[in-house]
């Protein structure tokens, strides 16, 4: 008997549940696709159009350009002896829509095999100028300065030094002479 009473109670609640569900459906507001309406929606659409038409293309061009100069920056950081050629290839890659960029990237990371045999060094002129300034400031150990001067002497024996390399060689000689003077005074 007890089971019959529970069933009768559940049946008695069914109309109450249906009435509650209908009341909740009637109380719901109308559904809208946008969270804005009227003038606010028009203003938001205008600003979105400005961003998509003006700002996104400018940002895309800037990112494209920054990615295309990466091989150039790598070549400068690694003192690649053919920096000017890599820079030119990066510019050509911009003109040709990025088709030459992978070649410039590989070239920036590769060392030319026969370059040292032909020119006596596999470093760019900027490397020697930077190291000569360090030697002049006393930040470069004399042994490394002597090694750089010997490398520049080897380059001078193979070909004529450029003005920058002659200046770097002179700075290295002056730094080595300055380092040798205190050592000579200390031993006397």
Task: Assign 168 a pLDDT band (cuts: 50, 70, 90).
Answer: confident
Compute the average pLDDT of residues 23-29.
Answer: 70
Compute the 3-state secondary structure of the chain and give helix, strand, coil in percent, each to the nearest 5.
80, 0, 20
Q: Provide the domain limits for residue 104.
A: 43-110
Q: What is the pLDDT of residue 188?
A: 53
Distance CA 148, CA 154 (A): 10
Q: Answer yes or no: is pLDDT of 183 > 80.
A: no
Q: pLDDT value at position 20?
A: 80
pLDDT band at 32 (very low <50, low <70, confident <90, very high): low
Whether 169 maps to a domain, the answer reads: yes
* Residues above pLDDT 70, as percent of the chain: 85
133 and 96 together in one domain: no
Q: Are residues 126 and 80 in the same domain?
A: no
Considering the domain architecture, whether residues 94 and 76 belong to the same structural domain is answered as yes
Say if 2 falls within a structural domain.
Answer: no
Confidence of residue 180 (pLDDT cuts 50, 70, 90): confident
Give the residue with greater pLDDT, 24 vs 140: 140
pLDDT at 151 over 60: yes
Mean pLDDT of 127-147: 85
Q: 176 with 143: CB under 8 angstroms?
A: no
Among 62, 87, 110, identify where a domain stops. 110
131-136 contact pairs (CB < 8 A, 24+): 131/168, 131/172, 132/167, 132/168, 132/169, 132/171, 132/172, 132/175, 133/171, 135/171, 135/172, 135/175, 135/176, 136/171, 136/174, 136/175
In angstroms, the Cα distances linking 136 to 19, 130, 132, 145, 150 are 94, 10, 6, 10, 17
Q: Is 126 part of a structural domain of the chain?
A: yes
Residues 123 and 106 placed together within one structural domain of the fold: no
Which band of pLDDT confidence, cut at 50, 70 and 90, is reported for residue 185?
Answer: low
Q: Is residue 66 part of a domain?
A: yes
Residue 19 maps to a domain:
no
Overall average pLDDT of the 19-29 stretch: 73
Would the pLDDT of 89 be above 90? yes
Q: Are residues 67 and 125 in the same domain?
A: no
Look at the chain and report how many structural domains it folds into: 2
Buried b (16+ CB within 10 A) or exposed e, 116-142: beeebbbbbbebbeebbebbbeeebee
Residues 140 and 167 in one domain: yes
């Amino acid at each position: 008997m007890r089971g019959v009473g529970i069933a009768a109670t559940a049946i008695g609640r069914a109309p109450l549940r249906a009435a509650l569900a209908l009341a909740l459906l009637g109380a719901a507001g109308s559904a809208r696709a946008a969270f804005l309406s009227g003038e606010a929606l028009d203003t938001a659409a205008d600003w979105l159009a400005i961003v998509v038409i003006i700002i996104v293309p400018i940002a895309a061009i800037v990112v494209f350009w920054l990615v295309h100069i990466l091989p150039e920056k790598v070549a400068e950081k690694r003192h690649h002896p053919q920096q000017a050629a890599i820079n030119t290839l990066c510019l050509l890659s911009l003109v040709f829509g990025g088709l030459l960029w992978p070649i410039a990237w590989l070239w920036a990371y590769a060392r030319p095999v026969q370059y040292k045999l032909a020119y006596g060094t596999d470093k760019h002129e900027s490397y020697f100028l930077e190291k000569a300034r360090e030697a002049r400031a006393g930040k470069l150990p004399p042994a490394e300065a002597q090694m750089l001067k010997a490398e520049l002497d080897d380059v001078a024996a193979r070909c004529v030094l450029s003005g920058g390399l002659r200046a770097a060689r002179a700075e290295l000689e002056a730094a080595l002479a300055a380092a040798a003077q205190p050592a000579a005074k200390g031993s006397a």
